[in-house]
């Protein structure tokens, strides 16, 4: 029986179960619909814009903030999360052999498209590069916006392309837009239009036209005509009713600023101490009315070793010496005057330790082990391995959040384009339950770095032999590959290796490792 026939039977069952009769409103609880809107930073009274701009400034001004952001981005998506299509055999009713062929075709096509510039509406980045931009935006600005666009006129690999929108462009519109939203029963908060049930309906994007004038465009979350998802708005929710994301750096902005200030002050102090600094004191025996330095500068016409000289205002017969690359000028202080050098006691040897301790609190607040922020592993094997594994458990949660909000909608829209072009078959696609079964996938990130590959490989082998894990999972965890691809490639490589060995009789008696 074909894949189409398998899925077709289940489609008919679902259609028979749901005869199209709508459920009455509030069937489960009978409670009224409530619009929930949270207030960000109620203690500080700051809006999303205020906090996001401070976070963006910290990202560029603070080396410590940049370290935190880069660690989060690199370990969350790195060069892009990899698709592992996993259509549900239980729901679709198709046999595993047919689905394996379907998965191989879909994953190969996805890799070609996601690594090409066709994935970007502006042809500037691949989808893998767009992932890095979106995650950076989520960390620094607290959120990202993407518009899914279909273009069948241009020669694209797939009609779908993705356009990222800067969060700062999403802003509160003029009064006519707000009144129009109110007529639909919605409200607009900080550029987001929200329905009575708290659903995000649209966003308002401000752009500049060719003549320099600013205009506001309303982008709906779903197409009114086709009901397809148009807008992707991703952020990590911290409280119910949240409508804009808060930057990851928001809780530690003050500490990051102080770390940067202390670092700058210590650097400036070191520069000052490298130059001459002092004060001239006077006692009771000083000659009354006599200038402490006698003559100011050198008499005009006198040879001076300084590279350049200029006339001193108010002293026609003197020039000002310019000393470069360090030096001392002995002016010959008159009696009663004493020169005392200034010691700023800088740099302070305790400052680096204090900043490291403060960074430990900062990294804990954002959920990253300090070793991964500093990229420095000075502890023993067990401690370093524990930090790495703990960090990657946290990054795994972040990349799943990102995959749910960003990659899953894009994958579903892309797959619909493949189906429309006749390149992939997915019977029952128009039914939400069946469509969800076809688009179910896992998104794999970087494998956990191995500090002792031999020991960890042996442990993986033991887990597989005892049924505690699978070869597919261990392949992804250890090397970032898939077991199915490894087997297929090894089969081809081993066949070629055996063929080449047969050409050399002296090697035919050797025992092969497979």
Select the more confidently predicted residue: 246 or 370.
246
In the beta sheet, which residues pair with residue 282?
337
Average pLDDT over residues 238-266: 83
Answer yes or no: are the C-beta atoms of 259 and 358 closer than 8 Å. Answer: yes
Q: Which residue has the higher pLDDT, 115 or 296?
A: 115
Q: What percent of the chain has pLDDT over 90?
A: 23
State the chain's maximal CA–CA distance in angstroms.
Answer: 115
Residue 165 has pLDDT above 90, yes or no: yes
- The per-residue pLDDT for 14 is 45
Q: Which of 67-76, 425-434, 491-500 is the most confident on average?
A: 425-434
Of the listed ranges 263-277, 306-320, 481-495, the least confidently predicted one is 306-320
- Indicate whether 91 pLDDT > 70: yes
Highest-confidence range of 12-26, 123-137, 254-268, 282-296, by mean pLDDT?
A: 123-137
For residue 289, pLDDT over 70 is answered with no
Q: Is the pLDDT of residue 511 over 70?
A: no
For the chain, which residues make up each domain, given as ranges?
Answer: 3-15+35-176+202-254+390-444, 279-341
Confidence of residue 177 (pLDDT cuts 50, 70, 90): very high
Mean pLDDT in residue range 5-33? 49
Q: Return the higher-pLDDT residue of 298 and 432.
A: 432
Give the pLDDT band of residue 194 (cuts 50, 70, 90): very high
Share of the chain above pLDDT 70, in %: 72
- Of the candidate ranges 184-193, 196-205, 239-248, the one whose mean pLDDT is the lowest: 239-248
pLDDT band for 489, please (50, 70, 90 cuts): confident
Residue 279 has what pLDDT? 63
Report the C-alpha dihedral over residues 353, 354, 355, 357, rounded to 10 degrees: 90
Query: Over the stretch 351-364, which tens digit does the pLDDT of each residue have?
Result: 777 888 888 888 87
CA distance 230 to 379: 49
Of 22-31, 45-54, 299-308, the range with the highest mean pLDDT is 45-54
Among 113, 55, 1, 33, CA closest to 248:
55
Q: Among candidates 334, 342, 343, which has minimal Cα distance to 282?
A: 334
Q: In this predicted structure, which of 280-284, 302-306, 441-445, 466-470 has the lowest mean pLDDT? A: 302-306
CA-to-CA dists, residue 236 to 80, 139, 202, 342, 404, angstroms? 19, 9, 19, 52, 11
* pLDDT tops 50 at residue 295: no
How large is the average pLDDT for residues 2-20?
51
Residue 211 has pLDDT above 60, yes or no: yes
pLDDT of residue 495: 84
Is pLDDT above 70 for 33?
no
Look up residue 421 and give its two tokens.
């072009």
User: What's this model's pTM, rounded to 2 decimal places?
Assistant: 0.74
DSSP symbols for 445-494: -PPPPPSSHHHHHHHHHHHHHTTSS-HHHHHHHHHS--HHHHHHHHHHHH
The residue among 103, 99, 121, 122 whose CA lies nearest residue 111 is 103
State how far the Cα of 443 lies from the Cα of 234, in Å rounded to an integer: 16
Q: What is the mean pLDDT of residues 452-475?
A: 85
Checking if the pLDDT of 27 tops 80, the result is: no
Mean pLDDT of the residues in the chain: 78
Q: Choose between 428 and 315: higher pLDDT.
A: 428
Residue 242: band (very low, low, confident or very high) from pLDDT cuts 50, 70, 90:
confident
In the predicted structure, residue 155 carries a pLDDT above the cut 60: yes
Average confidence (pLDDT) over 149-169 = 87
Instruction: Tell me the residue ranges of DSSP E strands in 214-277.
Output: 214-220, 231-234
Among 51-60, 89-98, 413-422, the range scoring the smallest mean pLDDT is 89-98
> Cβ distance 278 to 342 under 8 Å?
yes
Instruction: Specify whether the CB–CB gap between 271 and 293 falls below 8 A.
Output: no
Question: pLDDT tens digits for 415-445?
Answer: 999 998 889 998 889 899 999 999 999 898 7
Residue 313 pLDDT class (50, 70, 90 cuts): low
Checking if the pLDDT of 292 tops 80, the result is no
């Amino acid at each position: 029986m074909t894949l189409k026939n398998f899925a077709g039977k289940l489609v008919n069952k679902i259609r028979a179960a749901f005869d199209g009769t709508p459920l009455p409103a509030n069937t489960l609880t009978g409670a009224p619909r409530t619009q929930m809107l949270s207030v960000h930073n109620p203690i500080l009274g700051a809006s999303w814009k205020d906090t996001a701009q401070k976070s963006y400034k910290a990202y560029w001004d603070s080396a410590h903030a940049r370290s935190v952001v880069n660690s989060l981005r690199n370990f969350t998506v790195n060069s892009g999360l990899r698709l592992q299509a996993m259509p549900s055999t239980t729901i679709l009713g198709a046999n595993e052999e047919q689905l394996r062929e379907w998965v191989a075709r879909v994953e190969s096509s996805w890799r070609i498209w996601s690594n090409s510039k066709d994935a970007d509406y502006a042809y500037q980045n691949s989808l893998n590069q767009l992932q890095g931009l979106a995650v950076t935006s989520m960390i620094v600005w607290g959120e990202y916006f993407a518009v899914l666009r279909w273009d069948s006129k241009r020669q694209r690999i797939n009609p779908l392309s993705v356009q990222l929108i800067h969060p700062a462009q999403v802003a509160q519109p003029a009064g006519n837009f707000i009144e129009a939203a109110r007529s639909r029963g919605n409200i607009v908060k900080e550029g987001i239009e929200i329905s009575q049930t708290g659903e995000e309906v649209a966003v308002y994007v401000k752009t500049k036209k060719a003549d320099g004038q600013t205009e506001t465009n309303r982008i709906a979350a779903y197409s009114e005509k086709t009901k397809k998802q148009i807008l992707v708005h991703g952020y990590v929710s911290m409280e119910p009713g949240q409508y804009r994301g808060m930057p990851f750096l928001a809780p530690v902005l003050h500490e990051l600023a102080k770390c940067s200030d202390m670092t700058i002050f210590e650097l400036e102090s070191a520069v000052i101490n490298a130059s001459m600094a002092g004060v001239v004191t006077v006692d009771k025996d000083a000659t009354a009315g006599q200038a402490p330095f006698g003559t100011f500068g050198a008499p005009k016409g006198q040879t001076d070793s300084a590279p350049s000289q200029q006339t001193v205002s108010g002293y026609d017969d003197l020039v000002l010496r310019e000393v470069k690359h360090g030096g001392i000028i002995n002016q010959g202080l008159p009696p009663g005057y004493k020169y005392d050098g200034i010691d700023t006691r800088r740099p302070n040897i305790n400052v680096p330790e204090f900043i490291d301790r403060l960074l430990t609190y900062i990294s804990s607040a954002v959920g990253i082990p300090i070793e991964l922020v500093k990229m420095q592993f000075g502890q023993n094997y067990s401690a370093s391995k524990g930090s790495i594994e703990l960090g990657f458990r946290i990054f795994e949660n972040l990349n799943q959040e990102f995959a749910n909000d960003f990659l899953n909608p894009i994958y579903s829209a892309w797959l619909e384009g493949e189906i429309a072009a006749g390149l992939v078959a997915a019977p029952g696609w128009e039914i939400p339950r069946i469509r969800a079964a076809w688009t179910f996938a896992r998104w794999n990130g970087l494998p956990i770095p191995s500090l002792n590959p031999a020991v960890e490989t042996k442990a993986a082998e033991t887990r597989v032999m005892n049924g505690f894990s699978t070869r597919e999972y261990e392949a992804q965890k250890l090397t970032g590959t898939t077991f199915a691809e490894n087997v297929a490639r090894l089969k081809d490589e081993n066949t070629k290796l055996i063929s080449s060995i047969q050409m050399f009789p002296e090697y035919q008696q050797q025992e092969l490792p497979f």
